[in-house]
Structure 1
């Protein structure tokens, strides 16, 4: 009886401790929510001093009761700055994105022509941006990606020390958009960082560059593809886009030669032995260009013109601007790079990547979307399979891994 009583006593203590922990967590969460609500109340004065009406503020924060923890998690990882260049490009410049881009070029041909005429920006660049930002609008249909822009920006403003100022500035800009009537509250959605619409404009950029291309009285980059593409074109033009000029050239470098940093004319680069990878002549030797070797001398090399750096006004990452340029060229009919990336594995096509994901799903390693895009879920699944098979768990979507999977 004494032993039974002791066991019951221990069990009671464990239950009580667990209940105490749950109560503590609930109290902490309630405290955090209360602090967030207090922050929202305090921020009202700042917003009104910036021209936001009391009615708009009330409408903006209706239903926003707690921060979005997923926003803080996503803020820790940005592929433009962390993924290897070949991984970043493979997921964005592939047979699927090229084929869809060509379909969209036909579908929106009339609008693209009008936008080119108005803003002087090549249509294929605009299609590439649309693809890079939202996969031609497909991402906007996903509830697991698109979020309430006010809640996202309020979360960053309140809870992210690194992005607090950004969050506050963009939150006020988002409320100005709501106040303008261009979009209603239920459709004011964006990425985790508050980027809006088909072409993912942060609110301050929307205010600076948004265009009503379709003439319906609203600058609606969420529902109007012409408005979204024209807005992207306006941003590029106002940041110095040079009409009729390329973003850059793939080149071949003379072996064993080192090159100084900085911009030189194409003619000067030619004098140093740099030639186009496709064997064609450079159209204009006086154009200034900068040498970039994003994957080292063993990978492809590029001479980047001013338009490459204009693209970085959209997203300040070399990988992003390079992805836009390469995809635009392929949508226009280019066959792609002459020198492939220096990958540590044998690459596979997008269709084969989908097949790889399908096999991993059937074997119970993967439960994500079968779309050929290799993110952390796919890499983790590949690593788990490689470990099971006694292989080096590098997580790469390689021909070698697919060959083994086909035998299972």
Structure 2
């Protein structure tokens, strides 16, 4: 049956830029037809969208460009710091029985599951404050070239509500639609969420066992190899060609050993045929790593090598491992979250408006750092690193 003219016009309104869209409500009407066709009951759609208004601040966030690209050493310093390592060890102990069951069921290292939880929501403390239905509806209608993707996620969020897995009042998340202890998108939830506490629901928001089991299930589906490591730090031979590195350039471990690649302590690599890649996240002068299939599984959670390395390294530290042996190639190391809060507090004392001293580096902090660097005779980079913190401590 052909769609009505009104429905066609409503669907075109969804595809148009905000200035040309007939209205948010007409866009929702078009999505409603798709949602019902996908299995969402009209009653659930009506109940979830009645009186709904767009939150255009979300579009501002989507379009906002970062002031600078975060160097890998800053990224790692903020995610793998003493506080998160200690909290991770506590959570590993507190939820040991649950994690043991999860490992037996899915084969995934408990420390990796805990590391994902720590990075994604700081162990449940920061699950997001945006109402998921409103966020995804706004992005569905005003999300530009990605509006079709967000429409799919919006419909999936309605399916979650319909299945009564998560209390709709608790369905809060990031502005982009990720939610829960381990920040699943709705489509990821529908594919990978499982009931970890046996209550018949898959609630990654209010049930830690559900969130941990769901994360392990996701990693298992992504190809996690039970009993295998993600990788480890290595030492490269003199003259190693950086072009050989890259997550997609795998060779048997024995082949890397034949080239002279060794463990970072100088011991030889195992002479086996496990396929592995060399990773150089900061270039040839920084730490080098050999990574296996499990690194790829972590990478699939958030497609960035820096993210996967942070999760992998945090899991090692939670288990009692030490920091990387090779220093990052910088004379201005990154700051932990506690140090970032200290930096912001010191800038505030100097009269700068950087907002709350929460450790989140935003545009105000960067501008204040630049001005202080200028006043102190430092290179004006805006980099919130150890140099400016040390200078402010002494001032």
Normalising to structure 1: TM-score of the pair?
Answer: 0.85
Q: Give the corresponding residue for 1:173.
A: 156
Secondary structure, aligned partner of 1:313? helix
Q: Give the corresponding residue for 2:138.
A: 155
Match of 2:351 among 364, 376, 383: 364
Q: Give the corresponding residue for 1:120.
A: 107
Q: Aligned partners of 1:358, 1:57: CA distance in 2, in Å?
A: 46
Task: Tell me if the contact between 1:379 and 1:396 (Cα under 8 Å) persists in the aligned partners.
Answer: yes
Gap change, CA 1:375 and 1:49, over 3 Å in 2: same
**Is structure 2 residue 55 aligned with structure 1 residue 71?**
no
Task: Tell me if the contact between 2:55 and 2:138 (Cα under 8 Å) persists in the aligned partners.
Answer: yes
**Is structure 2 residue 44 aligned with structure 1 residue 61?**
no
Secondary structure, aligned partner of 1:296? coil
Task: Tell me if the contact between 2:197 and 2:207 (Cα under 8 Å) persists in the aligned partners.
Answer: yes
Task: Tell me if the contact between 1:98 and 1:330 (Cα under 8 Å) persists in the aligned partners.
Answer: yes
Task: Tell me if the contact between 2:73 and 2:333 (Cα under 8 Å) persists in the aligned partners.
Answer: no
Worse-superposed segment, 375-384 or 176-185: 375-384
Matched residues, number: 373
Q: Give the corresponding residue for 1:218.
A: 201
Q: State the Cα RMSD in Å.
A: 2.3
Q: Aligned partners of 1:238, 1:216: CA distance in 2, in Å?
A: 23
Task: Tell me if the contact between 1:91 and 1:373 (Cα under 8 Å) persists in the aligned partners.
Answer: no
Match of 1:404 among 342, 366, 391: 391
Q: Give the corresponding residue for 1:14.
A: none
Gap change, CA 1:318 and 1:31, over 3 Å in 2: closer
Q: Give the corresponding residue for 1:203.
A: 186
Task: Tell me if the contact between 1:134 and 1:198 (Cα under 8 Å) persists in the aligned partners.
Answer: yes
Task: Tell me if the contact between 2:85 and 2:318 (Cα under 8 Å) persists in the aligned partners.
Answer: yes
Task: Tell me if the contact between 1:212 and 1:227 (Cα under 8 Å) persists in the aligned partners.
Answer: yes
Consecutive unaligned residues of structure 2, counting only runs of 5 or more, are 1-17
Q: Give the corresponding residue for 2:39.
A: 51
Q: Aligned partners of 1:325, 1:373: CA distance in 2, in Å?
A: 22
Q: Aligned partners of 1:303, 1:287: CA distance in 2, in Å?
A: 11
What are the Cα deviations for residues 324-382 of structure 1, in whole angstroms up to 9, with x where unaligned?
10111111111111112222514555544332222112222243343445444432321
Q: Give the corresponding residue for 2:24.
A: 36
Alignment map for 1:75-154 (pairs within 5 Å) = 75-76=62-63, 82-140=69-127, 145-154=128-137
How far the C-alpha of 1:281 sits from its partner, in A, is 4.6
Gap change, CA 1:369 and 1:341, over 3 Å in 2: farther
**Is structure 2 residue 175 aligned with structure 1 residue 188?**
no
Normalising to structure 2: TM-score of the pair?
Answer: 0.88
Q: Aligned partners of 1:323, 1:72: CA distance in 2, in Å?
A: 29
Gap change, CA 1:284 and 1:330, over 3 Å in 2: farther
Q: Give the corresponding residue for 2:311.
A: 324
Consecutive unaligned residues of structure 1, counting only runs of 5 or more, are 1-29
Gap change, CA 1:382 and 1:252, over 3 Å in 2: same
Q: Aligned partners of 1:298, 1:120: CA distance in 2, in Å?
A: 35
